[in-house]
A and B are shown apart, each in its own frame.
Chain A
Amino acid sequence: MSYYLSATFWVPLLYTAVMMSAPLLIASIGELFAEKSGVLNLGIEGIMITGASVGFIVSFLTKSNFLGVLGGATIGFILGLIFAFLVTTLELDQILTGIGVWIAGIGLGTLFIHEVNGVTTGSRIQTMGAFEIPLLSRLPLLGDILFSQNLLVYFSFILVPITAFIFYKTSFGLRIRAVGENPEAADSRGINVHRTRQWCVIIGGILAGIAGAYLPLAYVGSYSHMMTAGRGFMAIAVVIFANWNPSKTILGALIFSTSIAFQIRLRAVGVDIAAPLLHMIPYIVTLVALVIITRRAGAPSALTKPFIKKKGS
């Protein structure tokens, strides 16, 4: 029993938890940008799958994980741009369009792998190595858990304060919140509602693409069909869990990733628990968390509502 209280059990577990929190956190921050501006992007799961695929292909062909991440970001940008155009300029239903983007994304990811010569679902790449931060990585326990991670983990950490700064200290953030809360009022004050929402959805797409690329590039080392396994939807849950507050997304992402890590770790030490039941944990944890914490007070008032500019105004 004492083993389960010792550092030898917990340090690898928390290391994995932090490592697994990065893609969730990056995707959640992306989704938060879109939702703050009033757009629910259900297509995020499809964008992540495609980001994983393109990221993997680019990394495999160029042997550069940096270019792989850039590839994921690029396809995320393109899909985000398309989704933004559909739900702002063309005023399509956000939820139904999101379902379309997601179903297409399920196919697109594996299709790309199939179409590029030399790449298969069996191909492998070297995953991103740990970057030990000088001095900090020497700290006992924390050094191993927090400061010996790959670069994208640090990126996800930095993303949170940057996002909070953008939302609450810049005029761009003010515009985002204005179009998310009351687009008509924002419009009458001369804010371009569609343009603001487009930027936010595109930022969300880029981050979802990076988050998708994280899985093959920083974690698994290969691509498999539907490898995101619902992480895009988890990201949407994290945003709700965080009550649309950037700093709380860290907590939400960590709850998810810790339960994933717990499951991985228990299996690694040979605990005889049925794997599917462990797989269920993060979903049940989120469900319970949503039930306990739900205060819809934080939701942008205009979320999912298309902005239709009145003629002649």
Chain B
Amino acid sequence: MVDLDNFRKEITPPLIGVIIAFFVIGIFLVFSGTNPLSAYLRMFTGSFGSIYNMAETLAVATPLLLAGLGIAIALKTGYVNLGVEGQLLIGAIAAAVAGLSFSVFKPIHLTILIIFCFAAGAAWSLIPGILREKFGSNELITGLLLNFVALYLVNYLVEGPLMQEGALFPQTARIHATAMLPRLLPRGRLHMGFIIAIIAVFLTYIILRKSVFGYELQMIGENPDAALRAGIDVSRKKLFSIIIAGGLAGLAGMGLVLGVHRRLMAGISPNYGYLSIAVALLGRLKAIGIFIASILFAAMLVGGDTMSRAEGVSFTIVYVLQGLIIIFLLLSDKLINR
């Protein structure tokens, strides 16, 4: 059952990538007069040191995990969904609109919200796909441009039509209680979105490993011409994978509004969408792998904050670390699995 050789092939590059990136940043820390071991220890205790910190790490992992699973499903066909950040933000907008505008029996409200936010993210993800089909526009670029449109749309809404009356910051009012995703622990911000993400992990595992659809996506990615000759409706399947990717990104944005902040505000996503691309790569486009990678990246973000305050290191070193992980992962994959 377990193919050990294959397992080793999959797990080695991410491990080496992470180790080398931490090592390189460690050397940098030494030169800047910080003890890397104590810095990394701070990072670890800041992210896993207590139940509260662990819960916070899982809360941050939730959007990375949801969006990352979507990235993987689309990337199976070779589609790099660079528009993920915008899809996430549109999901957040949809959550705020439907969470503020009406209130019904909680299970019904949440069901409506989940469907609505998935649809909103999916619809936004379809724009680059449609523009590609109709006009041949490069979907990488249109997706990226749409991210900025979505970003400024959020800013417009929270400064304008949806701004809370009398608020000092650009933010909406709190959503109705019936729209709030329940928190899982008495303290901290871990919310039911994490459960949704876990369900998405299982569904993605089944889709990618056990379903005909997953097999077809794999075939399209490896050789689109052969897939076409084998009778697979390539453009339809591809579009379907993009819809799932956009929808999952929409759910990621939904969780930020309904579970974490209980409102929409400017800067609600500190690059979670973009980072989810890195998470999907580090997780080797596999459901379980992405689960682990999302927790690792979340731990770096949450623990990086603690490290930055305790050791006086710039928080942005975490981004350098994450960028290096991607580069060293690609590198070790190339050198090991060629």
Contact = CB atoms under 8 A, between A and B. Distances in A.
Interface stretch (A14-22, A185-193, A282-290): A282-290
Nearest to B338: A91
A214 interface: no
B137 A294 contact: yes
Contact of B275 (A103, A110, A295): A103
Nearest to B134: A291
Interface string A221-262: 000010000100100110010000000000000000000000
B319 A103 contact: yes
B316 A111 contact: yes
A70 B26 CA distance: 29
Contacts of B136: 294-296
A106 B320 CA distance: 7
Contact of A107 (B135, B142, B318, B326): B318
Which 7 pairs show the lowest CB-CB distances between chains A and B? A104-B323, A107-B319, A100-B326, A114-B314, A103-B323, A276-B156, A107-B320
A97 B334 CA distance: 12
A104 B149 contact: no
Contacts of A95: 80, 140
Given A99-B274, A107-B323, A283-B145, 8 more contacts: A46-B323, A100-B324, A100-B330, A101-B327, A104-B323, A106-B316, A111-B317, A237-B145
A280 B141 CA distance: 15
Contacts of B215: none
Interface residues of A, number: 47
23 contacts: A90-B334, A97-B326, A99-B274, A100-B278, A100-B326, A100-B330, A103-B271, A103-B322, A225-B316, A230-B144, A230-B148, A237-B144, A237-B145, A274-B159, A276-B159, A277-B156, A283-B149, A287-B146, A290-B135, A290-B137, A294-B135, A295-B136, A296-B136
Interface in B287-338: 313-314, 316-327, 330-331, 334
B138 interface: yes
A108 interface: yes
Contacts of B274: 99, 102-103
Range, interface on chain B = 35 or more
B281 interface: yes
Interface of B: 32, 80, 131, 135-138, 140-142, 144-146, 148-149, 152-153, 155-156, 159-160, 271, 274-275, 277-278, 281, 313-314, 316-327, 330-331, 334
Contact of A237 (B32, B141, B316, B317): B141
Contacts of A113: 314
Nearest to B319: A107
A105 interface: yes
Contacts of B326: 96-97, 99-100, 103
Contacts of A294: 135-138
B215 to A, nearest CB: 23
Contacts of B277: 99
Nearest to B155: A276
B137 A276 contact: no
Nearest to A239: B141
B320 A99 contact: no
B323 A274 contact: no
Nearest to A286: B145
Given A99-B278, A100-B324, A103-B326, A277 B140 contact: no
B330 to A, nearest CB: 5
A233 B316 contact: no
Contact of A97 (B138, B316, B327): B327
Contacts of A100: 278, 323-327, 330
A276 B146 contact: no
Contacts of B316: 106-111, 114, 225
A114 B144 CA distance: 29
A96 B318 contact: no
